[in-house]
Amino acid sequence: MRPDIKLNDLWMSGLGWLRESISFPTPQSQTNTIVVPGRNSPIRYTEALGRVSYQPREFEIILSMLGTRVQFNEKTDALINQFAGMLTKVVCSEDTGLYAIGTLEMSPSYVPLTGKGQLTISCSDGDAYRYHVEETVVTVTGGGTVYLDNDYMPVIPRVTVTEDTDLSWQVGSDTFQKTVSSGTWEFPEMELGAGCNTISVKGSGTVTFRYREGRL
């Protein structure tokens, strides 16, 4: 399979571009330390919110094509007018189940002697996590125990209930209980960690959990 890249809903190979190279490094953690006189270890704020926070994701993609200057201008104009400075979903052909999102900047160049044109697509403010293309949806009717599998990114699900329902779950050593009426709800304390998360549901209606998983 030829390496490809998709911007929103457009695969670049279908527009006549060849993905020449891609640099997609892992985002670095947000690191801040304070050195206290008399202490042998600094105070580290890497996990100031109870988990590691990350800097924006940076990446660069180089597309190329062979043709006349007119053909190159037509291809670059089509992409630049549609994506330059725009918040865009980016999918690599090697992993079509995940997408990165960020603001794209574009820089074209053309060599007349060889007839080769290049378009450099870069991003410096991308979300640290890559997201699953498909949302995770788990539904239970009539109550019971619900098992919500989650990737590495912490996420808060949207909970839709059709009748009065009791929900209970545990995060670490803390136990939570909620009684909700029909509607869609989000509870900040219902944060799903990596792996399997268990939630108890009591009620005769239908309860649906929706959330988008993510990973670095």
Look at residue 29 in the predicted model and tell me its pLDDT.
Answer: 86
5-129 and 136-215 have identical folds? no
Low-confidence ranges of the chain (pLDDT < 70): 47-50
Q: Which residues of 4-25 are buried (b: 16+ CB within 10 A; e: fewer)?
A: bbbbeebebbeeebebeebebe
Handedness of CA 101, 104, 109, 115 (dihedral sign): positive
Domains of the chain by residue range: 5-129, 136-215
Query: Could you tell me if 20 and 62 are in contact, meaning their C-beta atoms sit under 8 angstroms apart?
Result: yes
Q: Are 161 and 182 in contact (CB under 8 A)?
A: yes
Architecture, CATH, for domain 5-129: Beta Barrel (2.40)
pLDDT of residue 169: 94
- pLDDT attached to residue 30: 82
* Confidence at residue 112, expressed as pLDDT on a 0 to 100 scale: 94
The amino acid occupying position 127 is D
Q: What is the pLDDT of residue 143?
A: 85
DSSP state of 47: T
Q: What is the pLDDT of residue 49?
A: 61
**Tell me: the pLDDT tens digits for 63-88?**
999 999 999 999 999 999 999 999 99
pLDDT value of residue 190? 94
Rounded Cα distance between 202 and 101, Å, is: 38
- What single string gives the DSSP state of each residue in 116-147? EEEEEEEEEEE-SSEEESSPEEEEEES-EEEE
* pLDDT at res. 48: 57
CA distance 22 to 3: 10
- Whole-number pLDDT of residue 42: 77
Residue 215's beta-bridge partner residues? 130
Condensed to tens digits (0 to 9), the pLDDT of residues 121-151 reads 999 999 999 999 999 999 999 889 999 999 9
What's residue 20's pLDDT? 93
Cβ distance 95 to 133 under 8 Å? no
* Check whether domain 136-215 has CATH 1.20.120.530, yes or no: no
pLDDT value, residue 171: 86
CA 88 to CA 61: how far, in whole Å?
A: 13
